[in-house]
Structure 1
Amino acid sequence: MSSLKILFRYSKGVRLYFVLSILFVAIETSFEVIIPLLMSEIIDVGIAQQDPSIFLEKGLQMILCAILSLLFGIWYAKCAAKAISLFCQRLRSIEFEKIQEYAFSNLDHFETASLITRLTSDITVIQNTLINGIRPFARGPIILILGLVMSFIINARLAIIFLFTTPILGVILFLIVKKIAPMYRRLQQAVDRVNLLIQENLTAIRVVKAFVRDEYEEEQFSQVNEDLANITQNTFHFASFNTPAFQMTMYMAIVGLMLLGVNMIVDGNMQVGELTGVLSYVLQIMNSLMMISNVFLLITRSIASCNRIAEVIEEPVNLRSGKIPLTPKDNSVDFNHVFFKYHPNAKEYVLSDITWHIPSGSTVGILGATGSAKSSLVQLIPRLYDVNEGSVKIGHVDVRDMDLVSLRDQVAMVLQNNTLFSGTIKENMRWGDPNASDEEIRKACEIACADEFIQKFPKGYDTYIEQGGTNVSGGQRQRLCIARALLKKPRILILDDSTSAVDTNTDHSIRSALRSIQGLTQILIAQRVSSVIHCDQILILEDGKISAIGDHDSLMETSSFYRGLYESQQKGAGI
């Protein structure tokens, strides 16, 4: 299905306004086209016969046509504004809602900057196309057809010149459109690259400043900005041929009409008013062709944006919610011969043959070298990704059969670089539970050891958090994220190296407080052995495969990796 058909599906409810807009423009244009015909009658009849009543009659008719044209133009503007604003609003909402449905694997298909461009710039392109295109789209063909008809009514021999000049303009415009059609998509891709660089720079502005990379970033931006300028210049260079082609054809028609018309007047085969009327229609006919060509250029550009928007809307969501609600009877987690890779065409699996049972209410740890797929493993539990082979079960039920909302409500996950949103601490905490009371927020912050620094803030829990949590430290940010996760009252809590920025004593306090929560299954990813030494069992991952499983004592005997990590960290602590 073409992108235009896809977007047309979402115009339901505003189509009537689009139809009325085109209808009103058609009526408005019809009155405009009549005016030159009335003008020719005034010249040929009123002046030739010196009859003032003709001036009055035809003049009043011209005024009436102008007034009716104005009224229908106003009604068009009202309907068009409503149709365009509602349609573009709906497209933005549909795109945003679809992105919210995406699985992580879907998001991997698009760069963040590209999605932003598709939600903003591409929608704006379509909006501008509709704003600048509806009127000429309706007026152009009507003026062209009526103008030609009126010209032939006035003088068929003279109007025949349009049959030669109009195809010339049509061929030129066809060649222009054919040339620039693929250039518009490259133009939007260049906008993507500019947005990507801006986003990366603003997100990491502190790193840029710290490494004194201002000049490097400026050079990078200058390059992509220059590429965008060059593509824009080339695209509009060819598009601008539209105007001189129109002017050339119009002047050719005028010269031809003047030469032919003067000879016909001299021979007595035509009156001056007829020539004046046909010349008036020359401008209208050529303007109509200009309108049509501009509409084609607008449509050509908007099709590139329509395709990009349709790609987002039609992207098949890789995760579909099951129907089984997550049972509260059992919080166990089972990995059964799990194989996983991020892309179906990848040659190697990120996780290979993972079989692991986590008893309900137990606390387990995961250790491994960087890149051993620790985070990939735990992301399969709340179905941020789906397994390629095998299964992940909670309470002996495959997570793929569970209701996705229920599953993720029961599984809380705190990442190392979790995000805080702009707003007060209370507002951030209520992401975990929108209805949480002040006492529940305070209790969750106590468990996460966040209350100790919150109380030092002058406004306490009403302290405003800047975008990204930049006005709190990394350790404070992690503790607030843990508290937010606890407010979900989860049955399974996953902490993915989420205490890496806190000191050892605070880490120990958080672990002790979490152990007091009855029935909570905890999965801890850590780099420090001290963070998992108390766990019921510890999993050692190596290159996406299980290297060893056991508690601290058994791993000290059976795992050289664990023993070496423990001894090196103990030695470091002693130093």
Structure 2
Amino acid sequence: MIKILKNLSTYKWIIVGVFGLVFIQSMADLYLPTLMADIIDEGVVHGDLPYIWKIGGFMLVVAAFGAIASVFASYYSSKAAMGLGRDIRRKVFTHVEKFSLQEFDEVGTASLITRTTNDITQIQQVVIMMLRMVVSAPIMFVGGVIMAVSKDAKLSLVIVGTMPVLVISVLLIMNKGIPLFKTVQKRLDRLNLVLRENLTGIRVIRAFNREKQEKERLQTANRELTDVSIKVNKVMAFMMPVMMLVMNLTVVAIIWFGGIRIGNQGMEIGDLMAFIQYVMQIMFAIVMASMMFVMVPRAAVSANRINEVLSMEPTFLDEGTKAANSEKGTLEFENVTFYYPGAEEPALSHISFRSSQGETTAIIGGTGSGKTTLVNLIPRFYEVTEGTIRLNGVDIRESSQKEIRSKIGFVPQKALLFTGSIAENIRFGKEDATIEEIEHAAKIAQADDFISKMEDSYDSEITQGGSNVSGGQKQRLSIARALVRKPDIYIFDDSFSALDYKTDASLRAALKEETKNSTVILVAQRVSTVIDADRIIVLDKGKLAGKGTHKELLETNEVYREIVESQLSEEEIA
């Protein structure tokens, strides 16, 4: 928690101002009961109306000062707390952007969303309370005790008797409640995960009539969160009744013994009323402190979860900024082996090949053979376990990630579009792309025909997740996004799967001319897509099962021949 609160140093002058304002408010609150006692003892008892008006007016001025200070303290404490939340979110987001896919897999997207939203909100709420109460509660408590003792020291013994009861009660309740806060956040993570899967996978759920089962799964996660939330709130609910009971019994005791003191001429009526007010202020200070004890542990859990993310070092960092263009458009794998974290078997084992400018290297293999894993290593989404990958003649570990990725046009297996216009989505590949460049890229990607039929053409809006375009259209827009970049290396990770054969053939013909000065890495399931490649890499269970042209592999490689025979007829093979 302290580590997170150090970020408040940016707002140190605002915090100093808040503390000053809270101090003024607290002093005003402490002064008012004394003025009230004077009105009763000097004005009401003696029937001195001018004195009542005089002190009453002064009380209004003091109360006004306290109210104004309270309003400004609330405003500036909120400003500091909201600023802190904004800064932490920015810090978390910036740090998470440095993560490799390994860290995303480890923490989980749902958990990262919860930590960036709910957990930071918890911290904001407790900071607002702390800024107000960290000064106010001690002043009210100490000041209340001093003022109460100054009114009647003997009567103050009542407070001494009741205070330990209140403190012990609060500590017992907190001891029960604090461990439950961590469970609440974990259950919230789980609910967020299930809800996210249900919303993103709604088509699959409906297609397989799994609505009932998924509804039950969500209800289970929701019930688990509800149960632990009710449990923690039941524990915390004891706090307020216990405090009110102790406070009320204390007031009864004070009135009882105070009445005896007044009867013995040892105390004035006004002093008794002031004494009651000061006792209420002391109790209220303890209530405020206990409320902090309720919120701080939960915020501390949230702070720890945020610190876990901030302290998580990326698996790999940029080790240099070396760049070379002497071998522009070359990609080389040299004895590359890769293990996923915690895996016993390698996802890729001893892969070696070289692709030069103007060449197309196709990668084919069965499901789970390591095709996507291989292409994910090129932009350095993961770090190779053994071996070397060279881009333009430079080991990718010796170049910055930004430098590497600036030379790559990547089309992922799952086409992803962002909210915004079609032009903005294509311009995602090149920030300063002109409309002519965008249109050219769309024509090569065979996307111009359906874009031109849309009402607003390239200004047509894409909804969240690209739900207003088909799978094939999404793939073509993703390809256009890579083409507009004009990179040294193109990576197409099974990017033609949603295209019909005619569009596929037209696209590959257009790509051949467009990519003649670049290297193309093409992952595909269809033999017809890779048949014309300069080099075909055949993967089988993460190992290099074959390498060569279509004709060479058909004659010499059994794995490739099985793939071909499963897709093409004997006439087509011949």
Could you tell me the TM-score, scaled by structure 2's length?
Answer: 0.95
Deviation at 1:572, TM superposition (A): 8.7
> How many residues align structurally?
571
Post-superposition CA distance 1:517-560 (Å, at most 9, x none): 32210111111111111111111111111111111122112211
Amino acid at match of 1:20: G
In structure 2, C-alpha distance between the alignment counterparts of 1:121 and 1:328, rounded to whole Å: 47
Q: Does 1:414 align with 2:426?
A: no
Tell me, what secondary structure is at the counterpart of 1:352?
A: strand
Amino acid at match of 2:207: A
Q: Counterparts in 2 of 1:147-546, with a 5 A limit?
A: 147-330=144-327, 331-343=329-341, 345-516=342-513, 517-546=515-544
Contact 1:426/1:462, CA 8 A, preserved across alignment:
yes
In structure 2, C-alpha distance between the alignment counterparts of 1:146 and 1:324, rounded to whole Å: 62
Amino acid at match of 1:262: G
In structure 2, C-alpha distance between the alignment counterparts of 1:90 and 1:572, rounded to whole Å: 64
2:138 is matched with which residue? 141
Post-superposition CA distance 1:432-470 (Å, at most 9, x none): 112212221121122212223223333322222222122
Gaps of 5+ in 2: none
In structure 1, C-alpha distance between the alignment counterparts of 2:69 and 2:184, rounded to whole Å: 37
In structure 2, C-alpha distance between the alignment counterparts of 1:483 and 1:547, rounded to whole Å: 32
In structure 1, C-alpha distance between the alignment counterparts of 2:70 and 2:445, rounded to whole Å: 64
Amino acid at match of 2:347: V
In structure 1, C-alpha distance between the alignment counterparts of 2:290 and 2:117, rounded to whole Å: 26
2:61 is matched with which residue? 64
In structure 2, C-alpha distance between the alignment counterparts of 1:318 and 1:451, rounded to whole Å: 41
Amino acid at match of 2:377: L
Deviation at 1:504, TM superposition (A): 2.0
Q: Does 1:6 align with 2:3?
A: yes
Change over 3 Å in CA distance of 1:500–1:61 after alignment to 2: same
Gaps of 5+ in 1: none
Question: Aligned to 1:561, which of 559, 562, 569?
Answer: 559
In structure 2, C-alpha distance between the alignment counterparts of 1:501 and 1:71, rounded to whole Å: 65
Contact 1:336/1:354, CA 8 A, preserved across alignment:
yes
Contact 1:325/1:407, CA 8 A, preserved across alignment:
no
Deviation at 1:52, TM superposition (A): 4.4
Deviation at 1:63, TM superposition (A): 2.2
In structure 1, C-alpha distance between the alignment counterparts of 2:109 and 2:88, rounded to whole Å: 18
Amino acid at match of 2:228: I
Deviation at 1:482, TM superposition (A): 0.7
Tell me, what secondary structure is at the counterpart of 2:316?
A: coil
Amino acid at match of 1:113: A
Contact 1:322/1:404, CA 8 A, preserved across alignment:
no
Amino acid at match of 1:328: N
In structure 2, C-alpha distance between the alignment counterparts of 1:100 and 1:255, rounded to whole Å: 61
In structure 1, C-alpha distance between the alignment counterparts of 2:2 and 2:132, rounded to whole Å: 21
Contact 2:340/2:347, CA 8 A, preserved across alignment:
yes
Tell me, what secondary structure is at the counterpart of 2:154?
A: helix
Deviation at 1:72, TM superposition (A): 1.5
Amino acid at match of 1:438: I
Deviation at 1:219, TM superposition (A): 1.7
For structure 1, which segment, 466-475 or 485-494, has the greater mean C-alpha deviation from structure 2 after superposition? 466-475
Change over 3 Å in CA distance of 1:426–1:35 after alignment to 2: same
Deviation at 1:48, TM superposition (A): 4.5
In structure 1, C-alpha distance between the alignment counterparts of 2:437 and 2:499, rounded to whole Å: 23
